[in-house]
Amino acid sequence: MSLPTLQDVLTTLVSLLKTTTPLLKRITSLLLKTTTSVLLFTIVIILAIAVYRLYLHPLAGVPGPCLAALSNIWHACHARNGRMYQLGTTLHKRYGPVVRVGPNELWFDSKEAFKTIYSAGSGFEKSDFYLSTLLTKPTLSLKFSPFKFPFPSLQLRQHHPDTLDLLSERHLPRYRLQRRLIGPLYQLSSLKKFEPQIDAVLDRAIAQLRTLQGQEVDLKEWMHIIAVECLGAVVLSWSPGYIRDKSDGGTSVQGYRGWKRKSVFGLFPSITVLSFLEGGPFGIGAKIGKGVARWWSNTWGVTFATPKGFKPFFTAVYQKVSRRVSMALLLWMSEDVKVVKPSKKNKHPKPAGKKQDKGTGKKDLLEDLIRLHQSKPEQFTETYLRRMAMTNFGAGHETLCSALTACMAMLGTHAAVQARVAEEVGSHLRGGGTVPFDTTAKQLPYTLAAIKEAQRLHPVIAMSLSRTVPRDLDGAGVMLHGHWVPEGTTVGCNPVALHRNTEIFGDDADVYNPSRWLSRHHSGSSSSSPPSKAGSNAGVGSDAGSEIDSELAPEPEPDSDSSSKPPQPNLNPEEEAERKRLREMLHLNLTYGGGARTCPGRHLAELIVWKVIPRLVAEFRVQVTHMPDDENMERYFMSMLTGVKVRFLEREDIARGGGTGGGLLSGDIGKSSVDVDVDGLD
């Protein structure tokens, strides 16, 4: 057998090529043609959408950055880069009271919009942004409506489980019930009993801060330490050990990364919904869901890893709550055994009346929540109970940290204000150095103004508190600032922007000036004067003692206690205008949210903030050693002043009543009169 020669092989190859080339050519040209047409088609579609959004969309006439009108990518880029505060401070200055920040989203900074969107019965409910903050995945289902006009439709429906997720809850009746249930526990009258716990945390924190001897520290970390320790003490009689360690174990940094991700995902609700996918054969749904989420997260660079050895306090909190709740319910049930044999269905026979004193004997918020469950087991279910216990931390730790940081950063960069606060606090301090809440609320108007003012300039939320224009309005939309805003549009105010509106706060709205909150007739008076009588601190703290749960009461009057005062007979027009200005300032804010969705933890938050700030200022002269400029701070939906460095310098110049304030050295840590479990020691 002879091998084919090289020439034979080549000729066959060439002839083969000759016959197939036309075919190959045709295939490639066909492919090329299809790709080109697909590409062209896509470009045409994109162009059409762009033209529609820019020129034909109902919001086309609203001013705003051109790129923003094209797609949410513009907004998301800014969110990703932590530019929300910059947008809040610049957009309205450039474009006016209404700005189109997305194809279908508007921001406002005006009184008119605030009143329309955030009044209690407005019907403007939370937008799809809040899908990104859900604590429990909804289940999804498809609904096919073949006869829908004008086209048959395929709808992806979400079913949200009833687990008490206040921030993201979309079912309003359910939400209202939940708020009504927890309302009484979160009123000031119920919370004040936890003051000693907060005082004890502050004793320990101050002792530790002293040991630093003026060393430079990260302000946000320390405020987070204090926030988590206060919550731990109030809710669980527990300490995460952060004060002891002089560190929060990186938990504030980690949590903030989570907000970066949520802020981006919130702007793409359909991607967020896809990430909820589950079910299907071989768990394909969940795989797709997770895959989509991961891909999107990576695309935007908002994926974050958990550092090695990272210990989130949530794990410890969860275990604590679990143990306490199970114990309490077991005890409670064992009581019931004597009466009725408990079955799965009849776990909580009523009435609970007599058994209410059985518990772990701890006097903390969890104990109150457990009792609430025992008294209304069908409404305030065990699921609600466990979730609400966690929510105190989830909704409270960063918001408190943010607010405390803002206050201390402002005081630390405004020496005159700090000096005046220190003087005011010093003149009202009781022995031992603790600051009773009532003292702050009633006798420290300037201190309160300093706090309010910091929260105005640096609110905890720096993105729009977005709501949806309701579907059921007459005429299917609203008219705002001469623009027709159709139903379904996402609208809202960025607190940063609203809080700097010069029409509300005056021409110096950008300036940190606590005196703006004080009636002019008093702002000049010396703070060392005797405690001001009720009424002389008009505006400031006038709602301090209010026991009304704001969301249940019909729209609270800004100075609700004015009714208890005799009407001031001879106010001249100037004073009248002044009072009106103060009332408006006090009313028009989103510091604790707005409308039916205001912060349910506001009184708890104020209890803590109004005790912490005066106490710290009384003990230390706080000096900011490094204040990054705004460009170097990232702020997302959650907003914090990051990177601020401070020294806590001991204050000798303030005469303290009682004189024991200086006697707390680090040796006293843990020996406070209030019983707390320190993490790792129990």
Ligand X SMILES: *[C@@H]1O[C@H](CO)[C@@H](O)[C@H](O)[C@H]1NC(C)=O
| Interacting partner of 371 out of ligand HEM, ligand X, none (Cβ under 5 to 8 A depending on kind) | none
Spatial CB neighbours of 576, under 8 Å, sequence gap ≥ 6: none
Do 134 and 165 contact (CB within 8 A), yes or no?
yes
The residue among 186 and 332 lying less far from ligand HEM, judged by its C-beta, is: 186
The residue among 168 and 623 lying less far from ligand HEM, judged by its C-beta, is: 168
Burial 516-541 (b: 16+ CB within 10 A, else e): bbbbeebbeeebeeeebeeeebbbbb
Contact region with ligand HEM (CB under 6 A), list: 3-11, 12-20, 562-570, 597-605: 597-605
| Interacting partner of 460 out of ligand HEM, ligand X, none (Cβ under 5 to 8 A depending on kind) | ligand HEM
Could you say which of 210, 311, 355, 587 contacts ligand X (CB under 6 A)?
A: 587
Instruction: Single out the residue of 224, 204, 397 nearest to residue 317, CA to CA.
Output: 397
Q: How many residues bind ligand X (CB under 6 A)?
A: 9
Could you say which of 452, 500, 522, 656 contacts ligand X (CB under 6 A)?
A: 452
Contact region with ligand X (CB under 6 A), list: 107-115, 221-229, 586-594, 638-646: 586-594
| Interacting partner of 400 out of ligand HEM, ligand X, none (Cβ under 5 to 8 A depending on kind) | ligand HEM
Q: In the beta sheet, which residues pair with residue 246?
A: none
| Interacting partner of 543 out of ligand X, ligand HEM, none (Cβ under 5 to 8 A depending on kind) | ligand X
| Block residue for tokens 């002293």 | 210
Could you say which of 69, 450, 491, 604 contacts ligand HEM (CB under 6 A)?
A: 604
- Nearest distance, CB of residue 467 and ligand HEM, angstroms: 9
| Interacting partner of 249 out of ligand HEM, ligand X, none (Cβ under 5 to 8 A depending on kind) | none
Q: Tell me if residue 508 falls in helix, strand or coil.
A: coil
- Nearest distance, CB of residue 641 and ligand HEM, angstroms: 14
Distance CA 44, CA 36 (A): 12
Counting contacts by CB under 6 A, is residue 134 touching ligand HEM? no
**Tokens at 149, concatenated:** 């006009």
Instruction: Single out the residue of 559, 253, 266, 617 nearest to residue 410, CA to CA.
Output: 617
* Residues 381-400 within binding reach of ligand HEM (CB under 6 A): 391-392, 395-396, 399-400
Do 106 and 100 contact (CB within 8 A), yes or no?
yes
Q: In the beta sheet, which residues pair with residue 414?
A: none
3-state helix, strand, coil in the chain (%, to 5): 55, 10, 35
- The residue sitting closest to ligand HEM, measured at its beta carbon, is 601
* Residues 557-576 within binding reach of ligand X (CB under 6 A): 558
- Nearest distance, CB of residue 452 and ligand X, angstroms: 5
The residue among 138 and 558 lying less far from ligand X, judged by its C-beta, is: 558
- Nearest distance, CB of residue 190 and ligand X, angstroms: 19
* Residues 572-591 within binding reach of ligand HEM (CB under 6 A): 591
Do 494 and 87 contact (CB within 8 A), yes or no?
yes
Could you say which of 64, 377, 593, 614 contacts ligand HEM (CB under 6 A)?
A: 593
Distance CA 421, CA 313 (A): 33
**Tokens at 565, concatenated:** 């005062």
Contact region with ligand X (CB under 6 A), list: 232-240, 388-396, 521-529, 585-593: 585-593
| Block residue for tokens 């019907």 | 123
- Work out the angle at residue 577's Cα, subtended by the Cα atoms of residues 575 and 578, and round it to the nearest 5 degrees: 60
The beta-strand segments (E) located in 64-190 are 98-102, 105-108, 125-126, 139-145, 153-159
Distance CA 492, CA 486 (A): 14
Do 431 and 92 contact (CB within 8 A), yes or no?
no
Q: Give the footprint of ligand HEM on this chain (CB under 6 A).
A: 166-167, 391-392, 395-396, 399-400, 403, 460-461, 465, 591-593, 597, 599-601, 604-605, 609
Give the residues lining the site for ligand X (CB under 6 A).
452, 455, 543, 556, 558, 586-587, 589, 591
